[in-house]
Structure 1
Amino acid sequence: MEHPDPADLADLALGHPVPRSLRAHVAGCALCRDEVAALYGVAEAARAASAEDRLTPPPDAVWRAIAAELAAGSPGQGSGGEPGADAASAYATDRPGPEMPPVRGDRRGGRAPVPPPRRTKAALLLAAGCLAVGAALGSGATWWHLDDPAVVAVRPGRESPLAPLAVADARGTARLDSTPGGGRTLRIDVSGLPRSQGYFEVWLMDSSHQKLIAVGVLGPEGSTTLPLPPGVDLADYPVIDVSDQPYDGDPAHSGRSVVRGPLRS
């Protein structure tokens, strides 16, 4: 099977317009679907950053390393047309930055493991995109448009990872199950929940993160099975979110998401 270019997968994870044929391929390819889901988690973490979390602009060396790695993975590119070079120079800064830390070796073999070139290139492209647009984009940004039914058709029994947002150590999974009576339930398991003065709420979200449906409460132990409201189309609400809610009488989302992730097809 021929897979899409890593740059196109990075575009999908960042929410850039992509052809329907690419979405259809990702819907039917577990390898590409997992890769986009991993990149989406990185993008979500960047989206959740506040203004206080904004990073210092990277030094020239970072952009040169990204541009060189992308050029090395693109056959037929000469030294005069390195992909990413213009972007690197456009966002470079004269401000001195910290030196890049050395890579620690693998205890077993003395060398750090080298990730597959396909994922390395996609990750570099995504990193460049995140650096270019900034870490704090506001709640209106949409990273991954999930409006194609082929992408969001969810099969019962498939676990979907939930990436950390407000809490770096939090991790979770969501699983859609069918009941004998034709209903649907959502199994949520989250580890690393923070201490809360309130409670944790499970939500269904649309791809813009603007429309939400409250599903139920997740206890402090981090595991629960909740019935889904009948008639809800998961093509319209393909994202699972777990928030830390205060006891303030306001049923709206608090804006503090602990974990979040798209339901896998």
Structure 2
Amino acid sequence: MSHLDADVAALLALGERIAPEDLAHAESCEHCRSEVHAFQRAVVAGRAASSDTLLAPPAHVWDSIARELSFEQSPAGGADAAPAAGHHVARGSGRRLRRRPMFLALGAVAAAAVIVVGVWASGGIVPRADVVSEATLDGFPEWQGANGEAALERVDGHTQVVVRLDASVPDDGYREVWLLTADASDLVSLGILEGEDGVFPVPDDVDLDAFTVVDISQESADGDPGHSGDSIVRGSLSSS
């Protein structure tokens, strides 16, 4: 028994009209029904991945899909163009002309679903952050030329501090990010800054009405978890 061409099964999965005899065969042949259902799952996954709950992936994600599938956009109306909705597909060699773009289109849908979900799971695509307050970080006299920026953000019901430090610092030791009260009578460590930029979750029990100052210090590997007293930059957060 002959089966449906794969491109015809793909068109049926996309909701396109196909020849009546092909449709009748698809309804009676278990093998072809399974193939159509496989294409339908790819379509559903792709459409779900384009939901408004996700941010649009960066351009390089789609570029990667195109490179992986060797996808090239054909001129409108060319031999490789996908058929328009409602187009009747005839039997014969004309279908074979559309085989490559149809497989690429469905392949792109499936690949997009996998890549978008993968990027979401790995943190490449994240919920939108709302900036609550910002601070300009000024250098201390001992650190001439040092400066930086900080922002308090709310993301998905949680808060985080984003910092950037521009300073010439020694190779030994490490930099640590802190939240201080306005009078510097109390402080909370947010973590170690590696490089010039960092994102630091704020513990839920920290009172952000009281801890309004961002400080980045130079620390030595002496085992003391307290502040070294050697601040590089510091600044007060204010509503943006």
- The TM-score by the shorter chain falls in which range? 0.3 to 0.5
TM-score (norm 1): 0.39
Larger Rg: 2
The structure that is strand-richer by fraction is 2
TM-score (norm 2): 0.43
